[in-house]
Chains A and B, each alone.
Chain A
Amino acid sequence: MACSHCTNPVNEEAKEIVAAIGAEPEFAIPLLQEIQRRHTYLPEDLMEAVAEASGIPIARLFGVATFYSQFRFTPQGKHLIRICKGTACHVAGAELLASSISDELGITEGETTGDLLFSLESVACLGCCSLAPVVMIDDEIYGKLTPKKIKGILKEYQNGKA
């Protein structure tokens, strides 16, 4: 449990976050989003410190964090791969695409590669149905993919594409 009397960096950061977002319970989601924006995941010590600084019970913060699929509790890889599993992508072969990415990287959805280069997730729909099947890597959307094409794209990132 973080101690409120010491000034360690985690407590300082928590105070900063609460000051920027707000301390009311209605800000639980934005607070967690801010933590994740800074760290790519929700570090336990920082969550506890934010609970302390805002006065929102830690149980409530954890309850909210575990309910919504956006939040994760382990660090994310350098590149986030999001496979669209929307209906249009599903009928266009999203499952096949997902399994070929899994085969290529040796991870399944929700996991991160050992070298911390890729994290793999699926999303319900990216709303780019005209380009199905679609994969989003970081902020870039790749459409009309086939297992062969995605392997080439992953290679580019493995070879250092930022």
Chain B
Amino acid sequence: MGKPKLLVGLGSCGIAAGAQVVFNHIKEKDKGVLADLDVTSCVGMCYAEPLVEVVSGEERVLFGQVDTAFADRILKGIADGRLPEENRVREDSDGKEYLARQVKVALRNCGVINPESLEEYRAVGGYQALEKCLKELTPQGVLDIIKESGLAGRGGGFFPTGMKWSFLAKAPGDDKYLVCNADEGDPGAFMDRAMLEGDPHGLVEGMLIASYATGARHGYVYCRAEYPLAIKRLRKAIEEAKGQNLLGDNILGTGHSFHLKVKEGAGAFVCGEETALMASIEGRRGMPTLRPPFPAEAGIKGMPTNINNVETYENVAFIISRGAEEFNKYSCGRSTGTKVFALAGKIKRVGLVEIPMGMTIGEVVNGLGGGSSSGLPVKAVQMGGPAGGCIPRSLFDTTIDADSINATGAIMGSGGMVVMDETTCMVDVAKYFLAFTQKESCGKCTFCRIGTKRMLEILTRITDGKGEEKDLDLLEDLANHVKKTSLCGLGQLAPNPVLTTLKYFREEYLAHINEKRCPAKACKPLITIRIKPEKCTGCTACARVCAVKAISGERKEIHTIDPDVCTRCGLCLETCKFDAIEVV
């Protein structure tokens, strides 16, 4: 048997957790003697990073929380023929719960292959779907398969992809464009980043198949500039594909031509909206325009254009190779296939999961995710980012499909799931998202520009303890006007976080207003930090870290905090070793 392979997960998150240090250490120490060192990307188990996998033949053992010392133990284990028993994250109880019910379609290659190697992509069947399309299927045949699969836009719109493609296919002329929206702007969402970093060829192949089905000859991937590693790997994949005549003119001698370019965004959330995105690609301010005309009629440079997001394209090659039935055997309501979610916030197992449609929110949050990280009950889950809403624990039996999630007032969105426990204030969360959309509003529509600002002022008043009960009616009234009078999705959906928290957590708003109390003890103006006299040992540690000198007391005597001086920064809480400081 040959040398085993050592794969180190070098996605952005893995690198931040220290995977690059581990990679360099192994490279330096082993110099390729015991194992062939290689790079892979995020496998989705962010909670266990840094990750190192030992692959020998069919056997794969994945180790988590690998530091340089543990890397040495893995190397020694390879030499001795006995790998360490600890930190095997696929086999421990966490890993079993996390992985058991996942189905990998869009993420099929992430964390499995080296994303910077076309050869490895080919070794797992890459570009065979493209060849099948070019050589065995007609463009209409491809459209029929995509339609039959039920694939729908994974950016959050859930518009049937096959139908969207057929609009472009029917559009007249040869000069048509395909766009991939990789401007993943929702805070707390990192699905697209993981796919771009982990399987860039999967995206290129999906777009190539779409270009064949629709007759588009030019393509753009519009990626946000905050993802430098994703952009680097995608550019490399495009160059490699060009080198093997998979992109360019007369692809594989079939006469089909497709040219693909990467466009870097420059930091504007609204550019995730398709008309704004096209304006940005053309080098203009990213301001949305009225539809119609729809992109399929007049998009980039006035030419017919089709836009899908990263995850949608990543599904395409799978559907063509394995058949529509293999994809739509997972279904719930009108939604078919799988969906990738980014689990974040106060959840035990943070990471990326891909689940079949129809699982319940509770199964994902409490099952795969393992419940809250704090041990406190999970209060709600925020889905859909700034355009979405907060779904309370009482609705955790809701199945995950576009229609059921929409019925709660939230949206499925692109796949962000941020978990909140009892220490998260729902008014503060609503304020957070509104502050985000308010800042990112392009300013074109009056209600989105000014209405969101006024709503934010009301919410700030409430969290400052200066709210009145009539503010809630005002909020709802304004929210409905913003929804009705905004041109694009940003404004139409901006009030969702406020409306859903008002609907499900009204009592928290009322506690802020009537009792001047923040039940989660998160809103600074409504809390007091004080010292528990029975526990204070007079060690002076808190007084020494306090930047505003709000804490007084002699050594070995009970200290006190002056609430008028205290800024509620919490530094003393973090410093105290005796649990003698509390928030009330």
Chain A residues near B (Cβ < 8 Å) = 24-30, 32-33, 60, 63-64, 67-71, 85-93, 96, 99-100, 103, 123-132, 134, 139, 141-143, 146-148
Contact of B283 among A64, A87, A125, A142 (CB under 8 A): A64
B267 touches A25 (CB 8 A): no
B571 with A147: CB separation less than 8 A: yes
Please provide the chain B residues from 415 to 466 with a CB less than 8 Å away from any CB of chain A in the complex: 416, 418, 420, 424, 429, 432-433, 436, 442
Cα–Cα distance between A82 and B382 once the two chains are bound (Å): 24
Q: Bin the interface of chain B by size.
A: 35 or more
CB pair B547–A131 under 8 Å, yes or no, is no
Contacts A130-B13, A130-B344, A132-B344; A125 near B189 (Cβ below 8 A): yes
CA distance A24 to B283 in the complex (A): 9
Query: Does B283 lie within 8 Å of A127, measured CB to CB?
Result: no
The answer to whether B569 and A96 have CB atoms under 8 Å apart is yes
Is B335 part of the contact surface with A, judged by Cβ < 8 Å? no
The 7 A-B residue pairs with the shortest CB-CB distance, nearest first, are: A87-B188, A129-B344, A130-B46, A68-B266, A127-B190, A141-B16, A28-B283
The answer to whether B282 touches A90, judged by C-beta atoms less than 8 angstroms apart, is: no
Whether A91 touches B283, Cβ cut-off 8 Å, given contacts A71-B266, A128-B16, is no
Asked if B268 contacts A67 (CB within 8 A), the reply is yes
Q: Given known contacts A68-B268, A124-B436, A146-B574, is B187 in contact with A87 (CB within 8 Å)?
A: yes
From B145-153, B345-353, B507-515, give the one contacting chain A.
B345-353
Q: How far is the CA of A128 from the CA of B13 in the complex (A)?
A: 5
Q: Is the CB of B283 within 8 A of A25?
A: yes
Q: What would 22 A/B residue contacts be, using CB atoms closer than 8 Å?
A: A29-B263, A33-B266, A63-B285, A69-B268, A71-B266, A85-B187, A86-B344, A87-B432, A87-B433, A90-B429, A92-B346, A103-B569, A127-B12, A129-B46, A129-B188, A129-B190, A130-B344, A134-B16, A142-B16, A146-B574, A148-B574, A148-B575
CB-defined contacts of A92 to chain B, threshold 8 Å: 345-346
Q: Indicate if B82 sits at the interface (CB-CB under 8 A).
A: no
Chain A residues whose C-beta falls within 8 Å of the C-beta of B283 in the assembled complex: 24-29, 64
A129 touches B264 (CB 8 A): no
Known interface pairs A29-B283, A91-B424. Does A125 touch B569 (Cβ–Cβ under 8 Å)? no
Cβ-based interface call for B185 (8 A): yes
Interface of A is mostly: helix
On chain A, the residues within 8 Å of B416 by CB distance are 87
Encode contact with A along B493-519: 1 for CB under 8 Å, 0 otherwise: 000000000000000000000000000
With a CB–CB cut-off of 8 A, which chain A residues contact B269?
A: 124
By the criterion CB–CB under 8 Å, are B187 and A69 in contact? Answer: no
Contact A91 B429 (CB under 8 A): yes
Q: Besides the contacts A70-B266, A88-B418, A127-B184, what 9 more A-B pairs have beta carbons closer than 8 Å?
A: A28-B283, A87-B418, A88-B345, A100-B569, A100-B571, A125-B190, A129-B342, A130-B17, A142-B16
A131 and B16 CA atoms in complex are apart in Å by 8
Q: Is B200 an interface residue (CB 8 A)?
A: no
CA distance in complex: A22, B228 (Å): 22
A27 to B264, CA, bound (A): 11
Residues of A within 8 A of B103 (CB): none
Complex CA gap A67/B276 in Å reads 12
Select A68's contact among B281, B286, B345, B570, beta carbons within 8 Å.
Answer: B286
Q: Let me know if A86 and B266 touch, CB within 8 A.
A: no
Select A88's contact among B188, B263, B265, beta carbons within 8 Å.
Answer: B188
A100 to chain B, nearest CB (A): 7
Docked Cα-Cα span, A134 to B190, in Å, equals 14
Given the known interface contacts A100-B569, A147-B569, the answer about A67 and B13 at a Cβ–Cβ threshold of 8 Å is no
Report whether B12 and A29 are in contact in the complex, using a CB–CB cutoff of 8 Å: no
CB pair A125 B16 closer than 8 Å: no
Question: Are the C-beta atoms of A29 and B264 separated by less than 8 Å?
Answer: yes
- Is the CB of B47 closer than 8 A to any CB of chain A? yes
Residues of A contacting B418 in the complex (Cβ-Cβ under 8 angstroms)? 87-88, 91
Closest chain-B Cβ to A121's Cβ sits at a distance in Å of 10
Q: Are A87 and B190 in contact (CB under 8 A)?
A: no
Query: Contact partner of A99 among B225, B385, B569, CB < 8 A?
Result: B569
- Contact mask for chain B residues 253-265; partner A; CB cutoff 8 A; 1 contact, 0 none: 0000000000111
Q: Which of A24, A86, A87, A134 has the most CB of B within 10 A?
A: A87
Min CB distance A94 to B, Å, is: 10
B226 at the interface (CB under 8 A from A): yes
From B187, B345, B570, A124 is in contact (CB under 8 Å) with B187
CB of A80, distance to nearest CB on chain B (Å): 13
